[in-house]
Amino acid sequence: MSVPAPAPPPAAIDVSALVRTRTRTPEAIAEAAARRPRRPLVAGNGRLMIVAADHPARGSLAVGDRALAMANRAGLLERLCLALSRPGVDGVLASADVLDDLLLLGALDHKVVLGSMNRGGLAGASFELDDRFTGFRPRDLDRLGFDAGKLLLRIDYDDPGSLRTLEAAARAVDEMAERRLPVFVEPFLCRRRADGTLRNDLSAEAVTKSIAIASGLGGSSAYTWLKVPVTENPDDMARVMETSTLPAVLLGGEVGDDQEGAYEKWRGALQLPTVQGLVVGRSLLYPADGDVRAAVDTAVGLL
């Protein structure tokens, strides 16, 4: 049996050229956004495959046991450009700095662009659940011609910061609806461990409650999507997703070395009527075997 050739490495990113543009002609970023060819949010088979890269803006740089894996910006951009070049990949979710680089690289043409809105809940901080909106504002997304926004909504019933985040999230949903811009809400019920770190509760009951809370945010749900995890027991997903009629995408999260197990969980949940696609980041950009192309193509195949 012949052994398939290894996937070629991602194309090298010319960091010097990016820095030169940012230094001398920063207006080039807005110009690139203005001329970017756009597409509908949902097209083709009606499924969405989005690659996520908004982790660094929250100080979350780890992949597995590599604490600073996402800190190399050129490496991250190379992986993103490779992922975005693969058939079936619809777009990307990221913070402004990453999207600005991708605009300058021409990687966002005919792609769905989701801007990450609240990144103030820094990973490991005492104020992590007071997740202020330090990223894109609705008017920024509108001005740049981006296609949607995404906000993270983590709720700990014992942490007052969650209420501030909940209120800010509701107002963001209102402002996005006023502009007829979709917003993807990523809800979790969570709690602090003894060492102070946060743990997301992926039990069926907790995910059900988080979906119910997120679905009721703001004065209109017309433009609200959900970004939800697969429950601890994947067999619970059908019952959990009956909680709302809002369209939903599955989030990937950390999958460790069991990539095949993650694919199997996603495959089952993708059959549910409200689930419209996948938003996956580190597990595709930094797979255990290093083959970004194969990881992305396999995830696309699930759709």
Q: What is the pLDDT of residues 227-273, one digit of tens each?
A: 999 999 999 999 999 999 999 999 986 666 677 888 888 999 999 99
Each residue's pLDDT tens digit, 67-86? 999 999 999 999 999 999 99
Per-residue confidence at 10, pLDDT binned at 50, 70, 90?
low
Q: State the Cα–Cα distance between residues 261 and 245, nearest whole angstrom.
A: 27
Average pLDDT over residues 199-204: 96
Per-residue DSSP letter, 121 = S
- Cα maximum dimension of the chain: 60
- Res. 161: pLDDT tops 70: yes
Please tell me the predicted confidence (pLDDT) of residue 259: 77
Task: Return all residues near 10 (Cβ < 8 A) that are at least 6 apart.
Answer: 78, 79, 81, 82, 292
Asked if residue 224 lies in contact with residue 216, where contact means CB atoms within 8 angstroms, the answer is: no
Tell me the mean pLDDT in the region 27-52: 95
pLDDT recorded at residue 7: 43
pLDDT of 1 strictly over 90 = no
- Give me the architecture of the 15-301 domain, per CATH: Alpha-Beta Barrel (3.20)
Three-state secondary structure of 192-236: ECCCCCEEECCCHHHHHHHHHHHHCCCCCCCCEEEEECCCCCHHH
- Tens digits of residue pLDDT in 110-138: 999 999 999 999 999 999 999 999 999 99
The mean pLDDT value for 278-298 works out to 94
- What 8-state DSSP symbol labels residue 303? -
What's the token pair of residue 269? 């949940």
Q: Which is it for strands 91-94 and 112-116: parallel, antiparallel or unpaired?
A: parallel
Mean pLDDT of all residues belonging to the chain: 93
Please state the domain extents for the chain: 15-301
